[in-house]
Chains A and B, each alone.
Chain A
Amino acid sequence: MLHEKLYDYLLHLGDNSMILGQRLGELCGHGPELETDIALTNISLDLFGQVRNYFQAAAQIKGGDATEDSVAMLRYEHEYKNTYLVEQPNEDFAHVIVRQFFFDVYHQLILNELMNSKNETLVAIAKKSIKEVDYHVDFSSTWVKRLGDGTEESHEKAQTAVSTLWRYSMELFKATETESWAAESRVGPDLDQLKSVYLERVSSILKEATLSLPEETVFQYGAKTGRHSENMGYILAEFQYMQRAYPNMKW
Chain B
Amino acid sequence: MLGVSTKIEELLTSVSDPEIPVLSIMDMGIVRKVELVDNVYRIDITPTYSGCPAMDTIGDDIVSAFEKEDLKAKINLVLAPAWTTGWITERGRKALEDYGIAAPRTAEVDKAALLGEANTIKCTNCGSLNTKMVSRFGSTACKALFQCVDCHEPFDYFKCLK
Contact A45 B136, CB 8 Å, known A123-B80, A125-B79, A131-B161: no
Q: Please tell me if B7 contacts chain A, counting CB pairs below 8 Å.
A: no
A112-139 near B? 1/0 per residue, CB < 8 Å: 0000000010011101110110010011
A19-56 near B? 1/0 per residue, CB < 8 Å: 00000000000000001101100110111111011000
B103-131 near A? 1/0 per residue, CB < 8 Å: 00000000000100000000000000000
Q: Please tell me if B6 contacts chain A, counting CB pairs below 8 Å.
A: no
A131: shortest Cβ distance to chain B, in Å? 5
Q: Please tell me if B52 contacts chain A, counting CB pairs below 8 Å.
A: yes
Contacts of A132 in B (CB 8 A): 49-50, 141
In which size bucket is the chain A interface? 20 to 34
Q: Please tell me if B68 contacts chain A, counting CB pairs below 8 Å.
A: no
B112: shortest Cβ distance to chain A, in Å? 13
Task: Assess the B138–A45 pair: CB atoms within 8 A.
Answer: no
Task: Assess the A49–B52 pair: CB atoms within 8 A.
Answer: yes
Task: Assess the B145–A35 pair: CB atoms within 8 A.
Answer: yes
User: Could you say which of A123, A128, A138 contacts B114, with CB atoms under 8 Å apart?
Assistant: A138
| Bound-state Cα–Cα, A232 to B161, Å | 35
Q: Which of B48-64 contact A (CB under 8 A)?
A: 49-53
B61: shortest Cβ distance to chain A, in Å? 17
| Bound-state Cα–Cα, A123 to B159, Å | 23
Q: Which of chain B's residues has its CB closest to A129's CB?
A: B50
Contacts of A50 in B (CB 8 A): 50-51
| Bound-state Cα–Cα, A19 to B153, Å | 37
Contacts of A43 in B (CB 8 A): 137
Contacts of A139 in B (CB 8 A): 136-137
Q: Please tell me if B92 contacts chain A, counting CB pairs below 8 Å.
A: no
Q: How many A-B residue contacts, CB cutoff 8 Å?
A: 67
Task: Assess the A35–B137 pair: CB atoms within 8 A.
Answer: yes
Q: Please tell me if B47 contacts chain A, counting CB pairs below 8 Å.
A: yes
A70: shortest Cβ distance to chain B, in Å? 18
Q: Which of A133-155 contact B (CB under 8 A)?
A: 135, 138-139
B127-162 near A? 1/0 per residue, CB < 8 Å: 000000011111101000100000000000001011
Task: Assess the B82–A128 pair: CB atoms within 8 A.
Answer: yes
Q: Which of chain A's residues has its CB closest to B81's CB?
A: A127
| Bound-state Cα–Cα, A232 to B25, Å | 41
A108: shortest Cβ distance to chain B, in Å? 15
A247: shortest Cβ distance to chain B, in Å? 22
Contacts of B159 in A (CB 8 A): 135
Task: Assess the A49–B49 pair: CB atoms within 8 A.
Answer: yes
Contacts of A124 in B (CB 8 A): 79-80, 82
Task: Assess the A46–B134 pair: CB atoms within 8 A.
Answer: no
B89-104 near A? 1/0 per residue, CB < 8 Å: 0000000000000000
Task: Assess the B137–A53 pair: CB atoms within 8 A.
Answer: no
Task: Assess the B50–A49 pair: CB atoms within 8 A.
Answer: yes
Q: List 12 A-B contacts (CB under 8 A).
A: A38-B139, A39-B135, A39-B136, A46-B49, A46-B51, A49-B49, A50-B51, A52-B51, A127-B80, A127-B81, A128-B47, A132-B49
Chain A residues close to B by CB (< 8 Å): 35-36, 38-39, 42-43, 45-50, 52-53, 120, 123-125, 127-129, 131-132, 135, 138-139
- Apart from A128-B47, A131-B161, A135-B137, what are 19 other A-B pairs with CB-CB below 8 Å? A35-B137, A36-B135, A38-B135, A38-B145, A42-B138, A42-B141, A45-B141, A46-B141, A48-B51, A49-B47, A49-B50, A50-B50, A50-B51, A52-B50, A124-B80, A127-B81, A129-B50, A132-B50, A138-B136
